[in-house]
């Protein structure tokens, strides 16, 4: 899991891991969710990957567009 840089200092995301067709997101609560092309759509996953790498906007995007479109809760 890579540390989310949280450029604005107010994100609920603390880390992420990127795969070929998914992203796993760790929240500051310790929960980890997996979002896949199948569950959230390819365009949304690609946007989440870009936001994760940039360190800004990932939590807001998740809350607005893909909150419940995860494929599974890992922890």
Q: What is the pTM of this model?
A: 0.95
Average pLDDT over residues 42-66: 97
Summarised one tens digit per residue, pLDDT across range 32-47 is 999 999 999 999 999 9
The tens digit of pLDDT for each residue in 1-14 reads: 999 999 888 899 99
b/e code 44-69 from CB counts within 10 Å (16+ = b): bbebbbebbeeeebbbebbeeebeeb
């Amino acid at each position: 899991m890579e540390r989310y840089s949280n450029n604005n200092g107010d994100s609920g995301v603390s880390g992420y891991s990127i795969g070929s067709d998914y992203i796993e997101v760790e929240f500051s609560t310790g929960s980890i969710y997996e979002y896949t092309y199948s569950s959230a759509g390819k365009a949304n996953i690609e946007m989440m990957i870009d936001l994760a790498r940039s360190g800004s906007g990932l939590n807001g995007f998740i809350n607005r567009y893909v909150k419940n479109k995860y494929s599974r809760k890992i922890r």
